[in-house]
A and B are shown apart, each in its own frame.
Chain A
């Protein structure tokens, strides 16, 4: 507590209920402490899912060209439409939603999925109920709590009382038992999943859409990792008939194009999606965008357009293949060591089980003994306890070195 004048403005009680800091800055802190403790050791970062490979030249050249144009009379542009450049919106529609009935006008360009998830929460407001996969990307729960959808945090279960947690574990193939799931207004669903790496099948998504339709719910479908799918699983919720009436889709250039620092993504709100009183959700989302946002950077958008050119798209798929190879190396390493290991095939994340152990303890041990940073599964929800997430982003030599260290560390436990 700082001495001196206190205002009389009450702290937002919702924010006060959040446990600790947001997961990923906590991992950063762990990294920092470790590098201070062991300045000589080479820390391998397989924690925060941060892309490492340079962006193909055709894309950065397009951004540089746009930037240079901003210094000219003819090329200068001021405010863009808050919804994004129509050219980019159309390109996204053509690339990802061709034949799925989604038009450019239904696509809203963002500065990334994390920003749009909180804008969707603002759109939904404090009165709605939400369901998440357990485990899942922490932003869904955290933004829900901040807006007021969470209710009290219950220490015994590690859950917020008003949020429905849909368990996704090996036993149910990482797809929730919808028959046991209570109705909520909003259902967050991420596929391919962060952190488990599991991609839902067509049948599973048909069940999900039917569940949402029956319950009058809205699915918020996070497809940020769709580019990593290798087995023909659906890449968009809109591949499922009827989804346009029940789903919003959020996606991102971050993991597809290495745009984690450049900041670009999009959200699809179909015209068919209506509130209980018939009002189009897209109209209100548009209002939120226009009031709380001023559009993604025009430079990032120029980059996005280049990403979706034939040459750009091909170049990016090569980078994704590189990360997929990394995932395979890590997956094979843990499988060889005899662990129960999941993911890694349709996503850049490997989900490893350590039955009976606390995930923060496992992370601490791997960090201390092998100087590799990973993420504790419990950071993604109580259903993540016993698991750790290993990210497949990294330079090849780091991935190979990590594999060597893990084998050395766990070889004696190979029977586990």
Chain B
């Protein structure tokens, strides 16, 4: 996408290209959070404030605060929490944990890192155009099935990646759907890797954590991130929950092996970022994050309204910062190119997220308000 954008900018040097492609946050980080990070940075120049290596699992205070903020009513404790330098790194570390011998299922469509890291680890077979990798189970998520897979037609795999609210479709699974997913995992002896990176974007009463579902602690790992809540995309901070109750087939606790991976293949998230994380979870920090999230949600609303008014079938945008627009019968890269050429707006072709994304385009709601409004104005102008 970056290549296509660069080519386009060379061709149209005067065009004001607006990027609603890569889901990169644009709003400044609230001061309550940056002040805490600046304070920590300055402290590292003092005898009392200097700290070297931190615990690989993360600073105790941050782990405790994450547990009490997000998991207090589902009995996940601070020692079930592993602080990371972001979800992408932890997904790779989870793949290293599982090894090349496991089988995996992903939603079709989903965030490419699940599949790509699996390929790198050697879990998949050859790729076939239009079908995906031979050894990956693709769970179709389409408008027809409400973006929740028909589990009765899904083959058993060891690991099931599930992202809700979903990137790219924006769909958030209901309590009932997640209950079925947990039951499916329990019946099949599978492990769900639940990506909750967009949980704060949920507007209704859909579950924010897989652990809201009874029995999930015995079948699921949850990956989360500060990226899209606090604008930490460059600061790098997230966390993974591996419950004590989660066991391999021989009864060995998954958390023990994950801890070994974290201690051997990682050396902890940056201490300054962790100070920022702690500030994020203060009452003032949480309020500030809600405001930033609210801002992006308003962007999403504007984009949804625009495409809806133009007569498109539009999905997502209410529980996630992504809008999923259907262009039936067209190839998503063609749509991407047409949109770019005619409106100078960068989007993301749906086929990049899996074979089931063909015919869709993802429009991201991250952007300065003026840019989002301008992009929408151009969409309207072009399509009218």
CA distance A411 to B44 in the complex (A): 39
B78 at the binding interface (Cβ < 8 Å): no
Q: A7-B190, A10-B102, A148-B99 are in contact. Are A22 and B260 (CB under 8 A)?
A: yes
Q: Give the chain A neighbours of B121 by CB distance below 8 A.
A: 122
A249 at the binding interface (Cβ < 8 Å): no
Q: Give the chain B neighbours of A287 by CB distance below 8 A.
A: 120
Shortest beta-carbon distance from B23 to chain A in Å: 9
The A79-115 residues at the B interface (CB cut-off 8 A) are 79-80, 111-112, 114-115
CA distance A364 to B281 in the complex (A): 42
Shortest beta-carbon distance from B146 to chain A in Å: 27
Q: Give the chain A neighbours of B159 by CB distance below 8 A.
A: 9
Count of interface residues, chain A, beta-carbon cutoff 8 Å: 81
B143 at the binding interface (Cβ < 8 Å): no
Q: Give the chain A neighbours of B42 by CB distance below 8 A.
A: 60-61, 64
Q: A15-B257, A50-B53 are in contact. Are A122 and B92 (CB under 8 A)?
A: yes
| Interface hit among A157-165, A172-180, A258-266, A382-390 | A258-266
- 23 A-B contacts (beta carbon < 8 Å): A2-B251, A2-B253, A5-B186, A5-B219, A6-B250, A7-B158, A9-B158, A11-B257, A13-B101, A22-B260, A54-B46, A61-B42, A64-B41, A67-B37, A70-B28, A70-B235, A71-B31, A73-B28, A114-B267, A115-B89, A122-B120, A263-B268, A292-B120
Shortest beta-carbon distance from B74 to chain A in Å: 16
The A273-322 residues at the B interface (CB cut-off 8 A) are 287-288, 291-300, 303
The B268-301 residues at the A interface (CB cut-off 8 A) are 268-273
Interface membership of chain B positions 236-252, coded 1 if the CB is closer than 8 angstroms to chain A and 0 otherwise: 10000000111111111
Q: A5-B219, A67-B38, A261-B270 are in contact. Are A294 and B88 (CB under 8 A)?
A: yes
B86 at the binding interface (Cβ < 8 Å): yes
A77 at the binding interface (Cβ < 8 Å): yes
CA distance A51 to B264 in the complex (A): 19
Residue contact A12 to B101, C-beta cutoff 8 Å: yes
Shortest beta-carbon distance from A241 to chain B in Å: 33
Q: Give the chain A neighbours of B52 by CB distance below 8 A.
A: 50-52, 258, 260-261, 393
CA distance A393 to B53 in the complex (A): 12
| Interface hit among A33-41, A138-146, A353-361, A369-377 | A138-146
A8 at the binding interface (Cβ < 8 Å): yes
Q: Give the chain A neighbours of B99 by CB distance below 8 A.
A: 12-15, 148
Q: Give the chain B neighbours of A63 by CB distance below 8 A.
A: 38, 41, 272
Closest 6 CB pairs of A and B: A8-B189, A292-B92, A118-B265, A12-B99, A11-B248, A298-B234
Interface membership of chain B positions 84-122, coded 1 if the CB is closer than 8 angstroms to chain A and 0 otherwise: 011011011000111111100000000001001100111
Q: Give the chain B neighbours of A260 by CB distance below 8 A.
A: 52-53, 267
Shortest beta-carbon distance from A314 to chain B in Å: 16
Residue contact B268 to A4, C-beta cutoff 8 Å: no
Residue contact B271 to A261, C-beta cutoff 8 Å: yes
B200 at the binding interface (Cβ < 8 Å): no
Residue contact A55 to B45, C-beta cutoff 8 Å: yes
Shortest beta-carbon distance from A344 to chain B in Å: 20
Q: A292-B88, A293-B92 are in contact. Are A2 and B245 (CB under 8 A)?
A: yes
Residue contact B29 to A71, C-beta cutoff 8 Å: yes
Residue contact A76 to B26, C-beta cutoff 8 Å: yes
Shortest beta-carbon distance from A212 to chain B in Å: 25
A residues sitting closer than 8 Å to B (CB atoms) are 1-2, 4-16, 18, 21-22, 24-25, 48, 50-57, 59-61, 63-64, 67-68, 70-73, 75-80, 111-112, 114-115, 117-118, 122, 125-126, 138-139, 142-143, 146-148, 258, 260-263, 287-288, 291-300, 303, 393
B56 at the binding interface (Cβ < 8 Å): yes
Query: Of the candidates A67, A71, A80, which one forms a contact with B30 in the assembled complex, judged by CB atoms under 8 Å apart?
Result: A71
Residue contact B189 to A12, C-beta cutoff 8 Å: no
Scoring A50, A75, A288, A300 by chain B CB atoms within 10 A of each residue's CB, the highest score goes to: A300
B308 at the binding interface (Cβ < 8 Å): no
Residue contact A2 to B244, C-beta cutoff 8 Å: yes
B79 at the binding interface (Cβ < 8 Å): no
Count of interface residues, chain B, beta-carbon cutoff 8 Å: 85
Residue contact B263 to A22, C-beta cutoff 8 Å: yes
Q: A118-B96, A291-B120, A298-B235 are in contact. Are A48 and B53 (CB under 8 A)?
A: yes
Residue contact A71 to B251, C-beta cutoff 8 Å: no
Q: Give the chain B neighbours of A300 by CB distance below 8 A.
A: 270, 272
Query: Of the candidates B96, B158, B263, which one forms a contact with A21 in the assembled complex, judged by CB atoms under 8 Å apart?
Result: B263
Q: Give the chain B neighbours of A138 by CB distance below 8 A.
A: 264
Residue contact B249 to A10, C-beta cutoff 8 Å: yes
Residue contact B26 to A78, C-beta cutoff 8 Å: yes
Shortest beta-carbon distance from A45 to chain B in Å: 10
B6 at the binding interface (Cβ < 8 Å): no
B54 at the binding interface (Cβ < 8 Å): yes
Q: A78-B233, A143-B264 are in contact. Are A9 and B46 (CB under 8 A)?
A: no
Shortest beta-carbon distance from A106 to chain B in Å: 20
CA distance A24 to B55 in the complex (A): 11
Closest to B29 in A: A70
Q: Give the chain A neighbours of B234 by CB distance below 8 A.
A: 70, 77-80, 295, 297-298
Q: Give the chain B neighbours of A51 by CB distance below 8 A.
A: 52
Residue contact A15 to B260, C-beta cutoff 8 Å: yes
Q: Give the chain B neighbours of A122 by CB distance below 8 A.
A: 92, 96, 120-121
Query: Of the candidates B102, B186, B265, which one forms a contact with A115 in the assembled complex, judged by CB atoms under 8 Å apart?
Result: B265
Q: Give the chain A neighbours of B186 by CB distance below 8 A.
A: 5
Assuming A50-B52, A297-B234, A297-B236, what are 4 further A-B pairs, CB within 8 angstroms?
A11-B252, A63-B38, A63-B41, A303-B41
Shortest beta-carbon distance from A36 to chain B in Å: 17
Closest to B88 in A: A294
B51 at the binding interface (Cβ < 8 Å): yes
B222 at the binding interface (Cβ < 8 Å): no
Query: Of the candidates B50, B249, B270, which one forms a contact with A299 in the assembled complex, judged by CB atoms under 8 Å apart?
Result: B270
Q: Give the chain A neighbours of B231 by CB distance below 8 A.
A: 70, 76, 78
Residue contact A9 to B189, C-beta cutoff 8 Å: yes
Shortest beta-carbon distance from B124 to chain A in Å: 13
